Amino acid sequence: VKKAQASVAQAKEASDARSKLESDIRALQSQLDDAQQRAVLAEQREKEARRALNVLAGGAWSTIGGCTCQQSFSFGGQSFHGCTTSTANALASGSPWCVVDSDTCGTPLGDGQHFDLCSIPTTNGCTCKANFMSKGKPYSSCIELGSAGKPWCKVREEGCGDRNADGAWWDYCLKPTEQGCTCRREYSVPGVAKPISGCTSAPAKPKGQPWCKVDDGCGLQASGGDWWDYCT
């Protein structure tokens, strides 16, 4: 009887120990899950903060939503460089857009890629603010207030363009090219060390007016294969 009682006691001790161990494991797993959730939330907040900073700071490859454009991408069987007005993406409704470098920013295209709308480029390589105020009125696109025929906007980048009386930076908006193409945001030209934003006069083209590189299939094709067009 004593042996039986001892065996029962030992079994109970083992069961209690196993129960405590299982309880400890569940508690540790709960702590691990909480830590992982906090890490995911922290990563999301960091990404949101970076996007908000990109919206404010701007830059040639920063979209209106703070995403970053891929400099080259393919969609619908076509190749693009930076922002494009291609109607291949009906979701953009005709506005300039680009495929972005993250699957957590922008809008899904349905092929595993995400896109976002591009900010409007200016003649000095700045980018327009999505929303800005001028003389007490709100605007969300280029305006001709005080400059008929020469649309302008307030820009996101400090020190880019010109500064007006209230201290805000602004620049003239970059219009479509002669053949309705869109200038690439940045591109290289032989003999020029730095990437070019907007239009350039070097090297000179036959008509002697500023030009820019554009998306493939629009404008004129150079002997080297690149496409370009005259700026308006």
- Tens of pLDDT, residue by residue over 148-162, are 888 999 998 888 889
CB 124 within 8 A of CB 85: no
| Torsion angles phi and psi, residue 162, rounded to 5 | -125, 160
Q: What local confidence, expressed as pLDDT, does residue 81 receive?
A: 78
Residue 47 has pLDDT above 70, yes or no: no
What is the tally of helices (H) and strands (E) in the chain? 1, 13
Q: How confident is the model at residue 223 (pLDDT cuts 50, 70, 90)?
A: confident
Q: How confident is the model at residue 38 (pLDDT cuts 50, 70, 90)?
A: confident
Which tokens go with 140?
A: 């969300």
Q: Is the pTM of this model over 0.75?
A: no
Residue 44, helix vs strand vs coil: helix
Q: What local confidence, expressed as pLDDT, does residue 74 receive?
A: 92
Q: What local confidence, expressed as pLDDT, does residue 58 receive?
A: 62
Residue 49 has pLDDT above 70, yes or no: no
Residue 177 has pLDDT above 80, yes or no: yes
